[in-house]
Structure 1
Amino acid sequence: MVKLNELSDNPGAVKARTRVGRGIGSGKGKTGGRGVKGQKSRAGVAIKGFEGGQMPIHRRLPKRGFNNIFAKDFNEINLGKIQEAVDAGRIDASQTITNEALVAAGILSKLRDGVRILGVGELTAKLAFSVAGASKSAADAIEKAGGSLTVLNAKVAEA
């Protein structure tokens, strides 16, 4: 039976922390591993990008590009991965494959702004897809296998 007062860690599992500033004999005395004088020897200092008064490189270089705040972040999934899930029985081939069905099958960990199907891999099952988008090769492979593809929120091209 184990007694609480006899419990201990494995030898060498716990290493004592270095106590800095405790005399010359410790090897970490005087400056305590901080070098010498000045701002950086003090606690709580962060001088990111400071170049000693010279204009920092992030201000010397021109700005470039932009971030599109309206950009959609799609989950991308290959046909081969879907076919593997159908073969393993995680996806019901008779049901329409939607974002929620792919999450329930464990193929996607979380939903983003929708699912986009890509054409890598072989698709043999006849499946109906209802997704945000598909590549041309994926759409061709779905049609070839006898399935159907519905693209959600598709922008209508003006004639």
Structure 2
Amino acid sequence: MQLNSLKPAEGAKHAKRRVGRGIGSGLGKTAGRGHKGQKSRSGGFHKVGFEGGQMPLQRRLPKRGFKSLGQHLYAQVRLSELQALPVEEVDVQALKQAGLVGQQVRYVKVIKTGELSRKVVLKGMTATAGAKAAIEAAGGSLV
């Protein structure tokens, strides 16, 4: 095989459509564009979503919902999850290593869900009033 003998596979190439080249071609006169109207004219296309002047769908529907850009920075941890942790001093890094919060989380809040029966010292995080009372009742503290 030589470079000068290479050819594309049979049927892989076909001639491009030549419009407006006479009646015999099947695409003469109007060149496959039909008669009159915006689509038949040169430059006669509109932007995506345009509905001929009618109020477009994306403007007719109500705006709803909001996704905060900072939502991945915050996380909540339950008392029951703290109970299962093997360490006594808990900070955000320890929670990340245990897989309780995501890697991008910066702020953690402890909520009063479940029971805590052992001493836990929390560093660099906040807690709800009920969770704080439960932690202190078990002999722990928030630093």
Q: TM-score range by the shorter chain?
A: 0.5 to 0.7
* Residue matched to 2:107: 114
Q: Which residue of 2 aligns with 1:79?
A: 79
Contact 1:127 1:142 (C-alpha < 8 Å) held by counterparts: yes
Out of 105-114 and 121-130, give the one that drifted further: 105-114
Percent identity of equivalent pairs = 37
Q: How does 1:67-146 map to 2 (within 5 A)?
A: 73-85=73-85, 91-93=86-88, 96-146=89-139
Alpha-carbon displacement from aligned partner over 1:49-71 (angstroms, at most 9, x marks no partner):
55454112443467679877777
Using the alignment, how far apart are the partners of 1:109 and 1:61 within structure 2?
35
Residue 99 of structure 1 and its aligned partner are, at CA, apart by: 0.3
Per the normalisation by structure 2, the TM-score is: 0.54
What amino acid does structure 2 have at the position aligned with 1:76? Q
Q: Which runs of 5+ in 1 are unaligned?
A: 1-36, 39-45, 86-90, 151-159
How far apart are residue 121 of structure 1 and its match?
A: 0.5
1:75-131 CA-to-partner distances (Å, cap 9, x unmatched) read 11101011122xxxxx322xx210001112232241412111111000011010013
RMSD: 3.4
Gaps of 5+ in 2: 1-33, 40-46
